[in-house]
Amino acid sequence: MSIDAYPLIADWITTRDGRLLVHTGKVDIGQRISTALTEIAHEELTIPPDQIDIAPVRTSRAPDEGMTSGSNSIEQSGHAVRCAAATLRARLIALAVSRLGGAPKDWRISGGVLRVPGSNRQISVLNLIDEVPADTEIDRHAPFLTRPPGTVAKPAMRGLSEMVLGRFTFVHDLEAPGMLHARTIHPPHARARLDRIELKTTDRSRVEGLHIIRDGSFLAIAGSQEWPLVQASVQLAKACCWDPGGGVPETDVFTQLVTANASRFPVIDGVPQNSGVPDALPKPDMHARYERPYQMHGALAPSAAMAHWDGETLKIHCHSQGIYPLRTSIADSLGLRHGQVDITHVPGSGCYGHNGADDAAFEAALISIALPDTPILLKWSREDEHSNAPYAPAMVIDLAAKLADGKIAAFSAEAYSDTHGARPRPGPNRAGPARLLANRLRADAIGPVPPQPNMGRHTGIHRNLDPIYAFPKKRLVKNLVTGGPHRTSAMRCLGAAANIFALESFLDELARGQGADPIAFRKAYLTDPRDRAVLDELQRKTMLLPDLPETGGRGIAYAQYKNQMTRVGICVDIDTDDRANIYLTRANIVADAGRVIDTEGLSAQLEGGFIQAASWALYEAVTWDRDGILSRDWDSYPVIRFGNIPTIDVTILNRPEDKSVGAGEASPGPAIAAIANAVFDATGIRMRRMPFTPDAIMQKAFAD
């Protein structure tokens, strides 16, 4: 837990200029953690939200909370801030008693003021905080301040008004005196290396006066004016002669994701084991294989970063989700002490995972080292982002079941995938530097480090492979298959998106085979009342829905993220046409995230997760040939458009007596499955490979 490493109140809460300052190591990438932490501090100390600030997340000043990932921000940072605030409140009351008298039980707190009702004794919380000794430790058992629902002010999303008015500063908008703009010229694909540069005489004028930085196959260009620099970078790219190094393998990745190529690990209670893999189910009554292609983050804005090297300290501003691990990786890459690298998080385009942000930060650092005492603002292009950022790995999930009296008697699931964990962070064989793209291109290149299996609970490939359902016998196997054609790493949900898609589609097939109601079929295998309550509410919602058109379909799905976080049930209504287009018309989401901190933020997370998953389900797939990535823009890599966003209704079952749990990655898995099940309901075609494009549906129809 975060409190273990940072046990003092002052690690999490201080004051600045008469305002409360909340510290966190979790960065805000649109998941509204800043808003939630503001609300937590407000709930415990009653200081008005407009008097609370969130400190910039900066190395050496913010708590080191590792990566902002896994939907852990509320459970880790939020819990630490709540405990710190509750402890602080008790210490402030003690100070008030010592200064103005009375007993602790006499004092009340509201509006950021401590007072004794019926007397003139009162004192501002903000005026007392600095008197609490800086070395005061957090009391993990300090009672939280509970108040009736509706009595706590709800802060607006931080930065929203500035974003609407176009005044918000993203990392792309940073400016500094003497700053140079920069662009990187990336190879056509990961295996290509720069042989030579042949600038034509007519093109030399475009690059004259600009800085060209080359280190092996790492090539960049910098200049004072952005648009001329962009034009020059295009000409410089055309002048590059690349050794293709054999090109990109064009083999069908799904044929590669098989047992013969895998390192295999049985999974028990969500945890991989090093013991032998159990035998497959003999003669299963049902077997199905589900597939997910390589998919990309597709962030609205490409990655960017600013760096400045003054000969002693390398200052970087970037939108990384892990500034401390990135600091270590960059320092180790450049032979610097960790303290010589100072990284500040500045928002960029959100990504929920490992996109190009870390690579852009390191590239900006390399350019700034080559051009000392000069701020460098580096921006990737759309092609850079689409073709160089890590992808979500392709996955195959094989499911099988044996039935007895129409019920599941034994269940088997095997998930096959390349690594979901290649973020730059410390590890053996210089794993941090090796995971930065530019280090693979420099003259003193660091080759990729073979991925190691993640043996944690519900991580990577096997996240949500273990069903939440109480099947009598479960056989679960994680298969790590390396050596794929593309660099892969973390994207929202990791393996859970495909695993839940597979499981919930499989259950839909089983329920239909038994002629059972899909919700009742699932409830029969759920023992936790909270699971059943979500499905009960979802069933109530579906009973109120209007009838479907003849061309329509309805699908439902359920999951609990990591089997311990937010529970989500989803019902999706679709319509179709004779060209097999899928139109999303309505989505009902029911969720239980425990105690709700930020209702609007939680709803936004669930809605956003649904929309992203709908895009994965219906549109997205990386394409390539021997010469490189083909899906380099929004035409070749389509994503969901506004015209296919359904009406979304979110119902949250607030559990104020329970702990808050993460929700940022809870809805995508069941969303994909619900859409797949709705497609079957509408067409009778069972789609087992994403995306469910019209061509794929028609091909499946003819194949069946």
CA dihedral 676, 678, 681, 685 (to 10 degrees): -30
Model pLDDT for residues 632-684, shown as the tens digit of each residue: 999 999 999 999 999 999 999 999 999 999 999 999 999 999 999 999 999 99
Q: Are 291 and 688 in contact, with CB atoms under 8 Å apart?
A: yes
Helix count (H) and strand count (E) of the chain? 19, 27
Is the pLDDT reported for residue 73 higher than 90? no
Is the pLDDT reported for residue 350 higher than 80? no
What is the pLDDT confidence band of residue 203, given thresholds at 50, 70 and 90? low
Number of C-beta neighbours around residue 80 at 10 A? 30
Do the bridges between strand 263-268 and strand 271-272 make them parallel or antiparallel, or are there none, so unpaired?
Answer: antiparallel
Encoding tokens for residue 188? 């056509």
pLDDT value of residue 25:
94
Model pLDDT for residues 511-566, shown as the tens digit of each residue: 999 999 999 999 999 999 999 999 999 999 999 999 999 999 999 999 999 999 99
472 vs 209: which has the higher pLDDT: 472
Written as one letter, the residue type at 393 is P
pLDDT value of residue 297:
96
Q: Which CATH number fits domain 496-703: 3.30.365.10, 3.40.50.970, 3.30.1330.50, 3.10.20.30?
A: 3.30.365.10
Dump strand ranges (E) for 76-215: 108-110, 113-115, 122-124, 180-184, 193-197, 211-215
Taking alpha carbons only, the member of 527, 414, 564 closest to residue 475 is 414
Do the bridges between strand 376-379 and strand 180-184 make them parallel or antiparallel, or are there none, so unpaired?
Answer: parallel
What is the pLDDT confidence band of residue 47, given thresholds at 50, 70 and 90? very high
The distance of Cα 397 from the centroid of its chain, to the nearest Å, equals: 22
CA atoms within 13 A on the CB side of 677: 32
Q: Is the peptide bond before 266 cis (omega within 30 degrees of 0)?
A: no
- Residue-range domain boundaries for the chain: 2-146, 179-246+297-388, 253-294+391-480, 496-703
Do the bridges between strand 180-184 and strand 474-480 make them parallel or antiparallel, or are there none, so unpaired?
Answer: unpaired
Taking alpha carbons only, the member of 374, 214, 377 closest to residue 303 is 377
The percent of residues above 70 in pLDDT, for the chain, comes to 98
Model pLDDT for residues 405-445, shown as the tens digit of each residue: 989 999 999 999 999 999 999 888 889 999 999 999 999 99
Taking alpha carbons only, the member of 10, 12, 6, 37 closest to residue 131 is 10
- Give the integer Cα–Cα distance in Å for 344 and 346: 6
Model pLDDT for residues 282-335, shown as the tens digit of each residue: 999 999 999 999 999 998 999 999 999 999 999 999 999 999 999 999 999 999
pLDDT value of residue 598:
86
- Give the integer Cα–Cα distance in Å for 337 and 330: 10
Number of C-beta neighbours around residue 301 at 10 A? 16
Tokens 């090109």 belong to residue:
247
- Hey, do 2-146 and 496-703 end up sharing a CATH topology, with the first three levels equal? yes
Q: What is the mean pLDDT of residues 671-700?
A: 97
Encoding tokens for residue 109? 């707190």
Encoding tokens for residue 351? 């990504």
pLDDT value of residue 147:
62
pLDDT value of residue 427:
85
Question: 2-146 domain in CATH 3.30.365.10?
Answer: yes
| SS3 label, residue 462 | helix
Convert 490-508 to b/e letters by CB count within 10 Å (16 or more is b).
Answer: bbbbbbbbbbbbbbbbbbb
What's the CATH code, domain 179-246+297-388? 3.30.365.10
